[in-house]
Every structure is written in C-alpha cells, then in structure tokens.
C-alpha cells in the first residue's frame, strides 16, 4: 500500500510540476527524468534516444513557419516509436510534420494522429492534462503494473497508451483506463515486452 501511495504522489507531483512553466519545471523535469530512467522498462540509451527524437522533432516543427504558426502538434517518442498528436488545418501540413519527423535518425515508426482542424483552445489542452493525470492515477491502482510502465498522451479526450507490455496486460490496462471520466476513446500503441 505504501508503494502505491508513493507512486500516486510522485505521479500527481509530476503532473503539477510539468504543468508549470519556467526554471522550476525544468529543474523538476530533470529530477523526474532521472526517476523514470531507473524504473523504466526501456534501456537508459533508449530513454535518451526518445528524448533526443522529441527535441529534434520540436526543433524541426518550430523552424517551419507554416507549421509553427498554424498548428498545434505534440511529439511523443517511446522506444523510438513516435506519436504525433494535435491539430493541423490542412492535410498538407499534417503530412509535412510527419515528413520532418521521419528524417530523424532512430525513428522506427510514426503514428500520425494529427487531426485536420484549427489548433485547440488552451482550455481544451488543460482538460486533456487533467484526464492524463486521472489516467496516471488509475494506473497506480492496477495490480502488477507500475504507473511508469505506461506513457499516457491525451488529445481532445482521446487517450493514447504507449509502453512495453504483452497483449493481455495491455488489454487489461486499456480496459481499466477506459473507466476514467472524460475519455472519448482509448488507443493502445503498446509493443510486446518480449521483443
């Protein structure tokens, strides 16, 4: 029970700290990243590669004036599998974002879930952040799963789950998560932990 409370507290603290901007969030992010590496199923090298992929993708997307000015795109890399979420007003911009990310070395696959729409409002993004925090809290209650085993991304109420889990475990996690209020859909992007 103490382990679950400690994990829940860490997840909630991380959610609060990552929601802040400025140096405090940067400092907390460094501390949180160190904690994740020690209990992550990925190797330390893979965790580093995932962070590098995300940073390079963000740099590419910010350097393109049309993408930076007209879209809201999030890049999440887990085990070198990249998830693109957010909004782009045209199919051309959606494809352009994927093309940039595909040029990054070490990217093994891209899930392009960018919706064709105008960028979402801040209130919608805040709501997605709350859903993510609730999902992470729910993960703490699942027996034999660490909340750190699953990467959670929420966009427009759709929850994307990434991680290294076998299919029965991934199915059980998705089923448990689907009971969280505010979710419109759960998408499993798990890879087998036996690969």
Q: Residue 85 maps to which CATH number? A: 3.30.1340.30
Both structure tokens of 142: 């699942």
49 and 101 co-located in one domain: yes
Both structure tokens of 38: 């020690």
Find where tokens 């909340």 sit.
147
DSSP annotation string for the chain: -HHHHHHHHHHHHHHHHHHS-SHHHHHHHHHHHHHHHHH-SS-HHHHHHHHHHHHHHHHHHHHSHHHHHH-EEEEEEETTEEEEEEEESSHHHHHHHHHHHHTSTT--EEEE--EESSPPPHHHHHHHHHHHHHHHHHHHTSTT--GGGEEEEEETTEEEEEEE--HHHHHHHHHHHTTSTT-SEEEEEEE-TT-
Q: In angstroms, rounded to a whole number, what is the distance separating the alpha carbons of residues 181 and 188? A: 18
Task: Tell which phi-psi region holds residue 129, choosing left (phi > 0), alpha (psi between -120 and 50) or beta.
Answer: alpha
135 and 179 co-located in one domain: yes
Q: Are 100 and 64 in contact (CB under 8 A)?
A: yes
Q: In angstroms, rounded to a whole number, what is the distance separating the alpha carbons of residues 16 and 126? A: 12
158 and 98 co-located in one domain: no
83 and 105 co-located in one domain: yes
Provide the residue range defining the domain that includes 187. 2-39+121-191
56 and 148 co-located in one domain: no
Q: In angstroms, rounded to a whole number, what is the distance separating the alpha carbons of residues 81 and 179? A: 26
181 and 159 co-located in one domain: yes
pLDDT at 41: 84
Q: Are 76 and 103 in contact (CB under 8 A)?
A: no
125 and 186 co-located in one domain: yes
DSSP annotation string for 71-87: -EEEEEEETTEEEEEEE
15 and 31 co-located in one domain: yes
CA distance from start to end of the chain = 31
Question: Of the candidates 116, 141, 158, which is a domain's last residue?
Answer: 116
Q: Are 100 and 57 in contact (CB under 8 A)?
A: yes
109 and 161 co-located in one domain: no
140 and 170 co-located in one domain: yes
| pLDDT tens-digit readout, 126-162 | 999 999 999 999 999 888 888 888 999 999 999 999 9
The list of the chain residues with pLDDT below 50 reads: 1-5, 7-8, 11-37
Question: Of the candidates 80, 97, 116, which is a domain's last residue?
Answer: 116
107 and 12 co-located in one domain: no
The pTM of this model reads 0.79
């Amino acid at each position: 029970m103490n382990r679950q409370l400690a994990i829940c507290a860490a997840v909630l603290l991380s959610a609060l700290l990552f929601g802040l901007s400025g140096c405090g969030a940067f400092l907390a992010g460094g501390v949180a990243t160190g904690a994740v590496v020690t209990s992550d199923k990925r190797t330390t090298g893979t965790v580093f590669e995932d962070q590098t992929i995300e940073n390079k993708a963000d740099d590419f997307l910010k350097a393109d004036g049309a993408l930076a000015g007209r879209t809201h795109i999030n890049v999440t890399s887990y085990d070198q599998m990249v998830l693109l979420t957010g909004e782009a007003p045209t199919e051309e911009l959606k494809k352009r974002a994927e093309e940039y990310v595909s040029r990054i070395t070490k990217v093994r696959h891209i899930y392009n879930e960018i919706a064709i729409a105008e960028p979402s409002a801040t209130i919608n993004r805040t709501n997605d952040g709350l859903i993510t925090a609730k999902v992470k809290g729910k993960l703490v209650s699942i027996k034999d799963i660490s909340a750190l085993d699953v990467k959670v991304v929420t966009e427009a109420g759709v929850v994307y789950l990434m991680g290294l889990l076998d299919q029965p475990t991934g199915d059980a996690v998705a089923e448990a998560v689907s009971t969280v209020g505010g979710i419109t859909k759960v998408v499993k992007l798990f890879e087998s932990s036996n690969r």
